[in-house]
């Protein structure tokens, strides 16, 4: 349901300033369509919940295993969410530089941990098909293997 929060505004500067007067109110609570969707989701069939929970658990386990198979990358098993935070400190590269490198070198997009005040880590989503996860992990590992080893001084 996260897509229900997406929107945009195209207006002249004076209209945007007027919009900002109620922007805060609009963004501090769920909008009516989202609330209606939540009620429908809670009252509707629940068999899909276990199916998705199981699918996300398998994806989580796959991502964590594959990340831990990459030299210099460590990842703990999260208990919830569809993101993991992988520790890249052994690679000797900042998280922003690392994610920019992966985009250029491997076509893989991650989120730098420094954006979460979590430098030395990257956020990896596993809200994708297992085949896409496997391909991304293959590309990521190949790119990481090209990074020069950190020298101990």
How far is 53 from 33, CA to CA, in rounded Å?
25
Model confidence pLDDT, tens digit, residues 53-99: 999 999 999 999 999 999 999 999 998 888 999 999 999 999 999 99
Of 74, 124, 80, the C-alpha closest to 99 is 124
Q: For residue 80, give both structure tokens.
A: 């919830």
Of 139, 147, 115, the C-alpha closest to 67 is 139
Q: Find how far residue 20's CA is from the centre of its chain.
A: 28
Q: CATH top-level class for 47-145?
A: alpha beta
**Strand runs (DSSP E) across 39-87, as ranges?**
74-75, 83-87
Model confidence pLDDT, tens digit, residues 11-48: 888 888 777 776 656 666 667 887 888 889 889 999 98
Asked whether the whole model's pTM tops 0.85, one would answer no
pLDDT band per the 50, 70, 90 thresholds, residue 143: very high
CATH 3.90.1150.10, the chain: domain bounds: 47-145
């Amino acid at each position: 349901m996260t897509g229900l929060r997406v929107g945009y505004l195209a207006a002249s500067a004076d209209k945007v300033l007027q919009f900002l007067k109620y922007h805060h109110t609009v963004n501090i609570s769920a909008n009516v369509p989202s609330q209606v969707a939540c009620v429908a989701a809670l009252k509707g069939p629940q068999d899909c919940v276990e199916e998705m929970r199981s699918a996300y658990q398998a994806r989580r386990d796959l991502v964590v295993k594959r990340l831990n198979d990459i030299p210099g990358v460590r990842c703990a098993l999260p208990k919830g969410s569809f993101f993991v935070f992988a520790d890249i400190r052994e690679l000797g590269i900042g998280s922003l530089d690392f994610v920019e490198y992966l985009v250029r070198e491997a076509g893989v997009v991650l989120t730098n941990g420094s954006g979460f005040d979590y430098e030395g880590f990257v956020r990896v989503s596993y809200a994708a098909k297992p085949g896409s996860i496997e391909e991304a992990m293959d590309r990521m590992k190949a790119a990481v293997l090209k990074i020069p080893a950190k020298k101990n001084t």
